Amino acid sequence: MKAGKDQQNKTATNTQLSERVTLDSGGRLVVPARFRRTLDLRPGDAVTVTLEGNMLRVKSVRVALRQAQALMRKKNSAQRSVVDELIAERRAEAAQE
């Protein structure tokens, strides 16, 4: 099932979909159902909204987290543990006190 969702998300990333929606008096807009299904968005899911020039980009926090993790994995090519480094630094500082 997960592979299907991953494939679906890749398709959504590579395909531009467009649909007209109306902003209500409170400034809210409804994300169309087919977009929510494609992005696996559910009621209560957290999203980030970014203003890019004259466009709004809405991204699920779940997707943003996965992208940040992938970026950090790339930058951490030596596969070192940042947590282990922090603990070692704290122990060295404590030993000096």
Averaged pLDDT, 57-79: 84
Q: What is the pLDDT of residue 51?
A: 96
Highest mean pLDDT among 32-36, 64-68, 73-77: 32-36
Contact between residue 61 and residue 46 where contact means Cβ atoms under 8 Å apart: yes
pLDDT at 58 over 80: yes
Bigger pLDDT: 78 vs 97: 97
- pTM, two decimals, is 0.53
Structure tokens at 77: 């090519």
> Rg of the Cα trace of the chain?
20
DSSP string covering 29-95: -PPPHHHHHHHT--TT--EEEEEETTEEEEEEHHHHHHHHHHHHHHHTTT---HHHHHHHHHHHHHH
Bigger pLDDT: 67 vs 7: 67
- Residue 28 DSSP label: -
